[in-house]
Structure 1
Amino acid sequence: MAIGDGALGFRKALSKVYGTTRHQRCWVHKTCNVLDKVPKSMQAHVKAAVQEIWRSPSRELALRAFERFAQMYRAKYPKAVECIESDLDILLTFYDFPAEHWQHVRTTNPIESTFATVRLRTVKTRGCMSRGTILSMVFKLGQSAERGWLRLRGYRRLGDVMRGVKFIDGVSEEEINKGRKVA
């Protein structure tokens, strides 16, 4: 899976090189895009309705939450509804992966915040350092940022994802089938 903010070039290039890659849109970026399409006085209500979609425990409940959102806001803010509707499938890709990973894959912000520090320092020092010095600085900034990273939840599930185990609403088919046999 690749998580992005909607840059079409990234998705196209990834699809050419890694054709089976699934795409997930960043909910933080999408929420900002939606909020830009409604008046400031409505943004808190709209944000809560959008959060209800991606916080749903299953794809079915997320789709219902989206329908409620669409019914509530389509008449007054059609562009806000269209903003989500146009990417709904890509926004809900995370439901096909382990639930333990959802926290990490619904947004690109952890990646962006890590590189924000590097970007800030390299822009400020552009032209003042040699290639070797700048690479050393970027490496050290990355090491420094690493101290604040959270451990990946559900890292033991990565092997399942790599083997192509199918997940439905964050639960593997194997676990669902075991549950059916027990019941």
Structure 2
Amino acid sequence: MTQINDSQRSDGIQALVNDSDFLKELLQSFLQEHLESEITEFLQAAPYERAEKRKGYRNGYKPRMLRTRVGTLNLLVPKDRDGCFQTGLFERYQRSEKALVLALQQMYLQGVSTRKVTAITERLCGTEFSKSQVSALCGRLDTELEAWRNRQLSGQYPYLIVDAQYHKVREDHRIISKGVLTVVGISREGYREVLAVQCAPTENESTWATVFRKLIDRGLKGVQLVISDDHKGLCNAIERYFQDCQWQRCQVHYLRNLLSTAPKKLSKILADQLRDIFNAPDRETAHNRVKKMVCLYAQKSPKVAQYLENTAEEVLACFNFPEEHRRRIRTTNCLERLHEEIRRRTRVVRIFPNQNSCLRLVSALAAEHHDTWVSGYRYLNMEPLAHENITIAQNLVTPKPLTLNPILQNF
């Protein structure tokens, strides 16, 4: 018999993992078994089992589709004779699917649907719906999502990641961009959570202040680091509501901003040099590399040198935290990926019929990801942070976030 070596076995496993049909069949089989175990537990008896504690009998199945990341699954949901059994399996997906369908229905009813939207609406929910039905569905879903957005927060959130995204919304016979302000927290246990989702006419200090004030009222505490881009209004609100915290400017945004001040021919070498700073083993090494860059570009590109001198401190706060955490707390990438996934799902709507419709769908999608995060893998091992007990007072170098003081004032 031919021996299968470890490499061949590994290649075979990898091929299966990359096979979407295989993953789809595997997930469908697993979820079908889950449904069977749910009704067995509900009835307190397996099929054909004679049991004194039995609470009812099975009564066939009803087909149900479930859209997942590996494709649409065709499942058979068990029924009982009394019609009392309800599975909890679909709850995670129901909010976002309802919100999407409602957005399409509202577009259809307002007479702004395209043939594509009409076709999708018919396929998802049929054409037999009225304004009163849509209004009732909106009310129920909005109540559920509002409760989720306003839930009390318990525990501590050492890291906050903050950003905004924009969606097209119809308002007063115009199409305008509405901001959706989002805050993701990393808990003391190391899990990501969506803490805030709020619509705003624009992104400024006032709107961000409202978001932060509500978070604090809901019980937000234990924040040590806030990660964001350098939007002036946002930074002012951070400084106002998180005075004892450090601020980390997103290194990805910073790189783009710096390159915009430089001649195009310097872009590649500048990017490489900046990454050397970002990947430094410690804060002192990062500072030394910044100093060298400033000296190097003082004559070659004064704008680059000045920009570095004035702002480099803003991207180095992550060096005050455990090395194991730095790659994930130095950018807003975690939140950017969430926004990309939300945009992918909202693309079918294109232009929301109103602000409530926008907030409803974005909230539902954010809640779906929140549920996945808190029930999934641990994003960060927080033991190093607890061990080091990092505070601003304990750091030898205390940054002054949200200011433009030069870092080379002691030269």
TM-score bucket of the superposed structures, by smaller chain? 0.7 to 0.9
Contact 1:37 1:77 in 2 (8 A): no
Q: Which residue, out of 87, 93, 100, partners 2:317? A: 93
Query: What is the Cα deviation at residue 125 of structure 1?
Result: 4.2
Distance 2:331 2:360 in 1: 27
Aligned partners of 1:114 and 1:142 also within 8 Å: no
Q: Structure 2: how far apart are the matches of 1:4 and 1:68?
A: 26
CA contact 1:98–1:157 (8 Å) conserved in 2: yes
Q: 1:155 aligns with which of 378, 382, 389?
A: 382
With the length of structure 1 as denominator, give the TM-score of the two structures.
Answer: 0.74
- 2:352 and 2:365 map into 1 onto residues whose CA distance is 17
More strand by share: 2
Pick the structure with more helix per residue: 1
Partners of 1:152 and 1:62 in 2: how far apart?
26
Q: Residue 340 of structure 2 corresponds to which residue in structure 1?
A: 116
For residues 60-139 of structure 1, the aligned pairs below 5 Å read: 60-119=284-343, 121=346, 124-127=350-353, 131=357, 135-136=360-361, 138-139=363-364
Give the Cα separation in 2 of the matches to 1:77 and 1:6: 23
Q: Partner residue of 1:52?
A: 276
Q: Name the CA distance, whole Å, in 2 between partners of 1:32 and 1:140.
A: 29
AA aligned to 1:43 is S
Whole-angstrom distance in 2 between the partners of 1:62 and 1:163: 19
Aligned to 1:32: 256
Residue of structure 2 in register with 1:140 after alignment:
365
Q: In the TM superposition, what is the alpha-carbon distance from 1:42 to its structure 2 partner?
A: 1.8
Secondary structure of the residue that 2:248 maps to in structure 1?
strand
Aligned residue type for 2:266: M
More displaced, 154-163 or 87-96? 154-163
Query: In the alignment, is the contact (CA less than 8 A) between 2:320 and 2:390 conserved in 1?
Result: no
Structure 1 stretch displaced more, 79-88 or 29-38: 79-88
- One-letter identity of the residue aligned with 2:320: D
User: What amino acid is aligned across from residue 6 of structure 1 in structure 2?
Assistant: D
Cα root mean square deviation, aligned: 3.2
Q: Which has the larger radius of gyration?
A: 2
Alignment of 1:14-29 (within 5 A): 14-29=238-253
What is the SS of the residue equivalent to 1:87?
Answer: helix
Q: Aligned-pair distance for 1:93?
A: 0.9
Matched with 2:98 is: none
Query: Number of residues paired by the alignment?
Result: 167
Consecutive unaligned residues of structure 1, counting only runs of 5 or more, are 170-183
8 Å CA contact 1:3–1:25 kept in 2: the answer is yes
- In 2, Cα distance between the equivalents of 1:49 and 1:140? 38
CA contact (8 A) 2:248 2:317 kept: yes
Classify the secondary structure of the residue corresponding to 1:56: coil
Structure 2 partner of 1:177: none
Alpha-carbon distance change, 119 to 85 in structure 1, aligned in 2, over 3 angstroms: farther
* Preserved CA contact (<8 Å) 1:118 1:138: no
The percentage of aligned residue pairs carrying the same residue is 22
